[in-house]
Amino acid sequence: MLTTPKSLCRGCLLLAVLVLLCLMPGSARANAPAPDPYWKTIILSDTSEVASIAVYVDGPEGIFRLFETFESEHTKDQTIHFERPRDAARFYIEVTLADGTIQSSQPVDGSEKRQTLRYDVQANTLKKVITNQLGWLFFPLIMFILFLPLAFTIAVEVIVAVCYQFNRLGNVLLINLVTNLLMNCLLFYLRSMMKGQSTLWVTVLLEIVVVVVEYLFYTKKYPDYTKGKRLSYTLVANAISWGLFELVMKFFGI
Q: What's the pLDDT tens digit per position in 220-237?
A: 999 999 999 999 999 999
Sequential DSSP letters for 149-189: HHHHHHHHHHHHHHHTT-S-THHHHHHHHHHHHHHHHHHHH
Domains of the chain: 39-128 (2.60.40.4150), 134-251 (no CATH)
What are 47-92's pLDDT values in tens digits? 778 888 888 887 777 777 776 665 555 566 677 777 766 666 788 8
Q: Is the pLDDT at 175 greater than 90, yes or no?
A: yes
Contact 228, 244 (CB under 8 A): no
pLDDT for 185: 85
Query: Is 69:55 a contact under the CB 8 Å cutoff?
Result: no
Q: Give kind and range of the element (H or E) at residue 19.
A: helix 5-30
- pTM of this structure: 0.51
Q: What pLDDT score does 122 carry? A: 85
In the chain, where do the E strands start and end? 39-46, 50-59, 62-69, 76-83, 90-97, 102-104, 108-109, 115-120, 125-128
